[in-house]
Amino acid sequence: MELSLFLTNDETVHQLNRTYRGVDRPTDVLSFSQREGESADQWDNLLGDVIICVEQAQRQAAEYGHSMEREVGFLTVHGILHLMGWDHENPDDERRMMQKTEDILNSVGLTREAP
């Protein structure tokens, strides 16, 4: 499988969020699947794109009291899980997705207690 990871700023992610989701504000992470829609079959090995707003990640790392490495790791895993079909539209799905994210982060040493 192949995916792209794009690290960007508030302005760019705000524009993408407005254009593709109709949400007129920046966000922390966006995921765009290449496995949906009309051309999905032609991209066998391409999973999609994960776009992370570095400025938002910095604010969130400070807010949550953990490292920037942990926050970018969290957003990367979260974005990839979306590309793999995970979602958080209801409380049960959100709980499962958060647990999966934490399990993955813990397995690579990015625990909540990371400096």
Provide the 3-class DSSP secondary structure of residue 25: coil
pTM recorded for the entire structure: 0.88
> 69-99 burial by CB neighbour count: b if 16+ within 10 A, else e?
ebbbbbbbbbbbbbbeebebeeeeeeeebee
Question: CATH number of the domain at 2-107, out of 3.40.390.30, 3.10.105.10, 3.50.30.10, 3.40.50.10800?
Answer: 3.40.390.30
**Which pLDDT band, with edges at 50, 70 and 90, does 39 fall under?**
low
Nearest CA-CA partner of 46 in 64, 33, 59: 33
* All structural domains of the chain with their residue ranges: 2-107
The position carrying tokens 């966000």 is 27
CA distance 72 to 95: 20
**Which pLDDT band, with edges at 50, 70 and 90, does 75 fall under?**
very high
